């Protein structure tokens, strides 16, 4: 009887041992399975690195992203439909752009954005800094910042609205680059600007003088978010 109990116990112990060994084996198998999973985690990390690198690359070469974006901003909806009105504008932070787009909509005009060959950064636009790019340009009446993209064809246009922000009370010098690049004979030019508070001042006259051609009308200043009805009544007053 004792032997029978001993046999049963030893069989049970053996079974327990086999079970324990099996369990350990299983755990070992799990570990390698965890490894790919860990390498999967590495994969996630790698993705993370890739993403970081991606952003780093973009940050390290802002010019590259600007170059990539440039063709879009340079896009000119030319007078393909035989339109006689064109809205040309320069806008560093989007305020003038919004007004220009409304004018183009109201007048059913083509629209063209003047973009700088060397885009203006926020440091460039810092008017608190006496040595910033814009401060230097505005202090130099002969400064003529470059314009990117192909030269515009003004053929067929009779009226051109010319929009810009006020910088130090005047037109940004890149507008002078623009008007000096074209023969504006036979075209009526209508300046408009946006500003925090300053009026258009001498800007329109400066542009007319520097252009040396074209029939320049008096311009008008608008605040940010000028309404369509405000713009429409101004446009109607020009007729």
Ligand X SMILES: Cc1cc2nc3c(=O)[nH]c(=O)nc-3n(C[C@H](O)[C@H](O)[C@H](O)COP(=O)(O)O)c2cc1C
d(CA 216, CA 207): 9
Q: Least distance to ligand X from the beta carbon of 71, Å?
A: 21
Q: Least distance to ligand X from the beta carbon of 100, Å?
A: 9
Q: Locate 162 and state its tokens.
A: 């010319």
| Chosen residue from 127, 158, 186, 225 binding ligand X by CB under 6 A | 127
165 is an interface residue for ligand X by CB under 6 A = yes
225 is an interface residue for ligand X by CB under 6 A = no
203 is an interface residue for ligand X by CB under 6 A = no
168 is an interface residue for ligand X by CB under 6 A = yes
- Find all residues with CB under 8 Å of 222, minimum gap 6, and list them: 99, 192, 193, 194, 230, 231
The Cβ-side half-sphere exposure at 121, using a 13 Å CA radius, reads 7
Q: Least distance to ligand X from the beta carbon of 94, Å?
A: 5
Question: Using H for helix, E for strand and C for coil, what is the string for 131-146?
Answer: CCHHHHHHHCCCCCCC
Query: Where does this chain touch ligand X (CB under 6 A) — which range of 7-15, 30-38, 62-70, 163-171?
Result: 163-171
131 is an interface residue for ligand X by CB under 6 A = no
Residues 61-120 that bind ligand X (CB under 6 A): 91-97
- Find all residues with CB under 8 Å of 111, minimum gap 6, and list them: 77, 86, 87, 88, 89, 100, 101, 104
Closer residue to ligand X in complex, CB, 4/128: 128
d(CA 89, CA 64): 24
Query: Where does this chain touch ligand X (CB under 6 A) — which range of 3-11, 27-35, 159-167, 210-218?
Result: 159-167
Q: Give me the helices (H) in 114-226, please.
A: 133-139, 173-180, 203-211
Measured between its terminal Cα atoms, the distance across the chain in Å is: 122
Q: Least distance to ligand X from the beta carbon of 173, Å?
A: 11
Binding site for ligand X (CB under 6 A): 91-97, 125, 127, 134, 165-169, 194-198, 224
């Amino acid at each position: 009887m004792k032997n029978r109990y001993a046999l049963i116990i030893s069989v049970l112990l053996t079974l327990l041992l086999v079970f324990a060994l099996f369990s350990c084996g299983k755990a070992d198998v799990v570990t390698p399975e965890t490894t790919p999973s860990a390498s999967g985690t590495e994969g996630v990390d790698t993705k993370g690195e890739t993403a970081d690198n991606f952003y780093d690359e973009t940050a390290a070469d802002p010019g590259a992203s600007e170059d990539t974006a440039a063709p879009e901003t340079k896009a000119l909806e030319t007078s393909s439909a035989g339109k006689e009105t064109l809205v040309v504008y320069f806008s560093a932070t989007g305020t003038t752009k919004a007004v220009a787009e409304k004018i183009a909509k109201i007048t059913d005009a083509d629209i063209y954005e003047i973009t700088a060959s060397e885009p203006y950064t926020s440091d460039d636009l810092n008017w608190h800094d006496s040595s910033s790019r814009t401060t230097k340009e505005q202090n130099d009446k002969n400064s003529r910042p470059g314009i990117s993209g192909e030269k515009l064809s003004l053929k067929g246009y009779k009226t051109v609205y010319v929009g810009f922000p006020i910088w130090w009370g005047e037109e940004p010098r890149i507008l002078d680059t623009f008007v000096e690049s074209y023969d504006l004979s036979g075209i009526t030019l209508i300046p408009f600007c946006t500003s925090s508070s300053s009026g258009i001042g001498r800007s329109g006259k400066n542009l007319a003088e520097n252009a040396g051609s074209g029939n320049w009308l008096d311009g008008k200043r608008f605040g940010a978010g000028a309404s369509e009805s405000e713009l429409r009544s101004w446009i109607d007053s020009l007729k």
